[in-house]
Chain A
């Protein structure tokens, strides 16, 4: 980790109050809080992409929102280029968000061109007479024909809407993007178009990115570094190749093992995990993965240490130094990729 990352998130904690049910009121039980993010520290260097993976309820979207100031953490701070982001509107403008389904983030009554122009005018990005030209430029940057400026969101396909959402985010000329499941709603052929566009834009505009997704192949494709989250905590963080090729946390290993392998052998193996993800209202003591972990021992009831495997690779497991954790063999997968 360099001394001056573009984004630095320092030990943030986010809680959501759970409303008291009637039974809680009658029994006099206090309101409980769901701790969605439980002490997360991470850094992203300028021009790099950090991938954030995890299953439903792991808190990955909440981190993205907390970074942009859409949710206020109860503890910790978010710094962008060394400044506290929460206190500076000009810094927050340089940080933008792209959502999973732009259908719900674009105003259905505004034409695409109007939606982009609104942002340009509000932030006075270009002079009034230059707005129309700038809208056309932004549309071409994201690969949409200029005529799309006159369409409404419902007249666009899913992939086109995602491009429009991206154009709107880029309108304020941000340096940092949080992308929250940007391709999860798209068909695979369209998904590849959007991923390629994001890679191009990152290179052309020098963007720094936090890329949130549940699909491991997509995250691998996009990320320089990867953080694996489980129930509000980062279990492992490190360079993308290291995390995927030699995972050093049993949860990372389970996630990778659960991905279908394309080995063209009809499955006879049992599942790699048992049981469900615990409720965030009832997080296991100690290591939160221990209830589903095949390696769990008594010691796992105590909070696991942060073990540095390398200067830039951390895993939160008591046994990380004992066991050599290898990703399952994927030679067949490679074989197919090469054959094509």
Chain B
């Protein structure tokens, strides 16, 4: 990595107490992201991606959540030592977040412009007319046509794509150094997704902010992220540079994910699916959580604990047999 990390997390654990017992939603998650860099977090429903984002922002209610980490450093200070008021000052300013459904992030009975500039008025004591000017500028920046007129619109007057732009404008107005984007294009049509991805990358080039982009879609990750962390059952099972992860996946789950995507360019007779379904997080055994669905697992995989281990420069996998994954392509193809 060229730059020192802006955010550095080591061994983050998140557990929820439920009537069925403790459910570990994040298990020893470690990651880092630097300025100008996009880290992709990919995984399926229930893999713990969204919980991770909320834990980073201190948004998980406790109880039922229990959050602990060895380290959670942001721009030189530890997020773990902050009290609620200090965390609030960072959240929405230094670290901003956008969610999947933009309409649920907007208040339906309040003009969009006021919502965008609210944080300036609250955190920085900016006056009303100045805040309005800032909101217009923020809307122009995210590509809303005639922002001086649309600033007074209400959310229901806007399409989903425009609403996502408004939410991005709201996130950007505090000039964040880190943007957490949780499935920001999942609810959008493909041409609008294309517009939003281009916008996010453009804003990153302009401001140098770091982005953590959470997605279930490998192809979205491939165009936007410098590095990737693949999550499964609450753990990061593989992490590395995007190019390495896509060209030479070293975890059978990553390999399976990449192989199960139908492409627009070619038609295969049979998609390589991953058999079975993700495990129930409340009944995880001691071994590898992917063992039951894994094409290369041995008996010991079910009992021997597994942790991320480096296999190359900036490339780690949580698999006892990464060398078997390399041989998987040919075997699946034949």
Contact = CB atoms under 8 A, between A and B. Distances in A.
B149 interface: no
Contacts of B38: 266
Interface in A185-200: 187-193, 195-196, 199
Given A221-B268, A244-B265, A276-B161, A340 B329 contact: yes
A214 interface: yes
A148 B8 CA distance: 45
Given A187-B216, A260-B217, A267-B197, A334 B222 contact: no
Interface string A250-263: 00001111111111
Contacts of B262: 192, 195, 215, 217-218, 220-221
Contact of A190 (B161, B194, B263, B277): B277
Contacts of B219: 259-262
Interface in A321-340: 330, 333-334, 336-337, 339-340
B299 interface: no
A240 interface: yes
Contact of B263 (A157, A271, A272, A337): A337
A240 B263 CA distance: 13
Given A191-B260, A221-B267, A259-B264, A264 B246 contact: yes
Contacts of B275: 193
Given A272-B194, A276-B159, A260 B220 contact: yes
A284 B262 CA distance: 34
Contacts of A27: none
A199 B269 CA distance: 8
A4 interface: no
A268 B259 contact: no
B190 A214 contact: yes
B282 interface: no
Given A263-B222, A265-B223, A276-B162, A220 B194 contact: no
B223 A193 contact: no
B273 interface: yes
B270 A196 contact: yes
Contacts of A333: 263, 265
A220 B257 CA distance: 18
B195 interface: yes
Contact of A217 (B161, B205, B225, B261): B261
A155 interface: no
B329 A266 contact: no
B120 to A, nearest CB: 27
Contacts of B259: 340
A337 B269 CA distance: 14
A55 interface: yes
B242 A188 contact: no
A216 B190 contact: yes
B192 interface: yes
Interface in B43-63: 44-45
B228 to A, nearest CB: 11
B28 interface: no
Contact of A340 (B161, B191, B217, B255): B255
A259 B220 CA distance: 9
A221 B271 contact: yes
Interface residues of B, number: 61
Q: Which of B44, B225, B266 has the most CB of A within 10 A?
A: B266
B314 interface: no
Given A159-B277, A189-B256, A258 B261 contact: no
A214 B189 contact: yes
Contacts of B190: 55, 214-216, 255, 258-259
Nearest to A261: B223
A336 B191 CA distance: 24
B198 interface: yes
Contact of A220 (B246, B264, B277): B264
A19 interface: no
B143 to A, nearest CB: 8
B224 A267 contact: yes
A266 B159 contact: no
B198 A196 contact: no
Contacts of A189: 44, 256-257, 260, 273-274
A273 interface: yes
A56 interface: yes
Contact of B201 (A244, A268, A334): A268
A274 interface: yes
A267 B159 contact: no
Interface string B311-330: 00000000000000000010
Contacts of B216: 187-188
B159 to A, nearest CB: 5
Given A190-B277, A337-B263, A262 B226 contact: no
Given A196-B273, A217-B261, A267-B201, 14 more contacts: A158-B45, A159-B277, A188-B44, A192-B262, A217-B263, A218-B262, A220-B262, A255-B190, A266-B224, A275-B145, A339-B248, A339-B329, A340-B249, A340-B332
9 contacts: A189-B44, A195-B262, A257-B194, A266-B226, A271-B194, A277-B159, A336-B258, A337-B265, A340-B329
Interface of B: 38, 44-45, 145, 159, 161-162, 189-195, 197-199, 201-202, 205, 216-220, 222-226, 242-243, 246-249, 255-275, 277-278, 329, 332
Pairs of residues from A and B, 3 with the lowest C-beta to C-beta distance, nearest first? A192-B273, A258-B194, A192-B260
